[in-house]
Structure 1
């Protein structure tokens, strides 16, 4: 089967970032499918590259997490236009797979179906436009109406829909469309990430809590700085926080840390995959952070699943399925982000009991292997193209 894979933010392992499309497109190629993947990069000219058996087309459409909302919309529309032109030049495409965000990724898929009869599978990585509406980026009522209409149009015309969390599945199914919806969460790469469990605890050795990922408005990493402040006030000198990421809020967060005179926080910048692996090996725990907004409770952050694979204590600040995962599997805990003192209170037992900490870390790894392994979820994904 000849498959067109559309993803504006495709990344390969050497670049870091979310690797879901790398995992899944390469799984399709390994299964014997011919895969043409269209993506964007911050370059000047169109180029192609073969990556893990996938023919990747790079379109010159600049994008940065520091872009304001108008600049982001411009980049989305530019990629949509260029990818549509390229998609219609590719011959004999049997099926198209389009993965959001942004929602505009569905435009070339929809046009291919309308004018060539090519079916498409649509993947929902975020409930868009619900997320930017709740975050306050989209306030115009007419624009909201148009975007929600377009979302429903994309779902209605899809042959199948893939969603990354139970909350996203519910967000799609609320439209009550006769389209099958499949839950395929983000992937834990249990081959690349090998656990380094905590065998002993010493007040002389740092207890590292790492944050990995985007420093954006939706992530509200301010919450982690509030926790660091409480730890410093309580003289928990062994607790250290390493923030590895970049984004629009980076400058603000550094200024806040400086204003609070935090000596237990390190900003490490953007990490590639190998650097992420090394940091996780040093860390006892990771912190997954989102703003306290309902739609963000449905998120399926890739770094959370890296943490599971690496066997880390998983600390989360969102209600919903992430809280359920860590609590039901005893591999971490949830704490309300507006109550940093409660977080620190919940953390205290892990600072003194190495056996308790190691047990929770082992539970995280077991969960990764049993429910979210690359092999298991890749098989589920590839099977969609044979049904």
Structure 2
């Protein structure tokens, strides 16, 4: 079986789609599948092409045995809508050129959405290379763009909704990361064949680890403080200002916030923290996945925050599963599917999104629990993900469904 994965996001970038697709491709490769990835020059989340890829229109490499073809993208730190559209469409057209010139005929083409626009490249390759199309939807576009205030009513929105339905109609399978996305797809196109392919975790990479005291010292974590960690993107969807507001309320407690990662709002958040004179909160650079497992082992608890919009009631942030695998208890700031999973796991407390006073109170409560109580919470999380969210098992289920819906 030959599979092509078309995605704007792939390692060495860090992020949920990057990690999910990387794990999927290398596990399928081990199962005897011929996997090729067609992706952009790495630039996420800072909007800068990584140094070793600059000045190239095309590049070919192998990552963990998987063949990776890369094409040019217009990358920019400017987050204005028109600039971001240029970024998206530059990859749409460069990937179409490279796809038609470099891709061999394969059985299945999996297109990662968002961005929805990449579906144009997927449709062209589907017909010209005669492949079965699978749309993998990790976020409902254009619905999420509307709720985030990026697009309003009008012809553009109507056109995007028409194109969204077209992609579902032309797909042999639509795989979705959450139950809410499955429902959203079926609301738009009831005849779609869907598969719930949830975020999960690589249990070989994220596992319970002993605290690395040398690492703790190098990061200058205070010795006598309760450590609260966040690791991930610093973007609009995470609304990290709620962490700053919670830290402000806890400035007189022996509680320290370690904020790890990068993203379009990081500079704004750092400036805001300076203006608030937060001495109990420090920002740290983005870490690769191996280091992230060691980093989170230093935390007493973690926070998984979301912005307070209805769309995120269907969100299942991948960082939840990584924390559970590492036996780190956490606070989930959200509602819906993510909150239900957090509660069911037994490894998390839940507060409403963007309610920093409630978040601060919950952090204080967990800090007063005994280490044994928090350890028991974390252990429940590991059992939970091992049973239902092991990426190895999820990859096998996805592959079986591809054979049924696209090959047989």
TM over 0.5: yes
Structure 2: distance between partners of 1:68 and 1:262: 29
What secondary structure sits across from 2:169 in the alignment?
Answer: helix
C-alpha displacement of 1:51: 1.8
Relative to structure 1, the CA distance from residue 196 to residue 274 in structure 2 (aligned partners, 3 Å threshold; closer, same or farther) is closer
User: What does residue range 216-227 of structure 1 map to in structure 2 within 5 Å?
Assistant: 216-227=235-246
Structure 1 residue 98, shift from structure 2 partner:
0.7
Answer yes or no: is the 8 Å Cα contact 1:3–1:95 preserved in 2.
yes
User: Which consecutive unaligned segments of at least 5 residues does structure 2 have?
Assistant: 42-48, 212-221
Q: CA offset at residue 347 of structure 1?
A: 3.0
Aligned-residue Cα RMSD (Å) equals 1.9
Q: What CA distance in whole angstroms lies between the structure 1 residues aligned with 2:295 and 2:76?
A: 24
1:145 and 2:153 matched: no
* 2:276 match: 260
Work out whether 1:88 is the aligned partner of 2:104: no
Answer yes or no: is 1:17 the counterpart of 2:15.
Answer: yes
Using the alignment, how far apart are the partners of 2:273 and 2:343 within structure 1? 30
Greater RCO between the two (CA within 8 Å, min separation 6)? 1
SS at match of 1:168: helix
SS at match of 1:266: strand
Give the length in aligned residue pairs. Answer: 378
Q: Does 1:55 align with 2:67?
A: yes
Q: Secondary structure at the match of 1:179?
A: coil
Alignment of structure 1 residues 163-312 onto 2, 5 Å: 163-196=176-209, 205-232=224-251, 235-237=252-254, 239-312=255-328
Deviation at 1:346, TM superposition (A): 2.6
Residue 64 of structure 1, CA deviation: 5.3
Alignment partner for residue 360 of structure 1, among 355, 370, 377?
Answer: 377
Q: Distance in 1 between matches of 2:77 and 2:169?
A: 30
Cα distance between partner residues in 2 of 1:162 and 1:24: 13
Q: Tell me the TM-score normalised to structure 1 length.
A: 0.92
Cα distance in 1 between the residues matched to 2:235 and 2:84: 13
Q: How does 1:348-387 map to 2 (within 5 A)?
A: 348-352=364-368, 353-387=370-404
Hey, which bits of structure 1, 4+ residues long, moved more than 4 A? none
Q: Report whether the alignment pairs 1:332 with 2:351.
A: no
Matched-pair contact (CA < 8 Å) for 2:71–2:98: no
Q: 1:197 to 1:319 in 2, by over 3 A?
A: farther
Unaligned runs of 5+ residues in structure 1 are: none
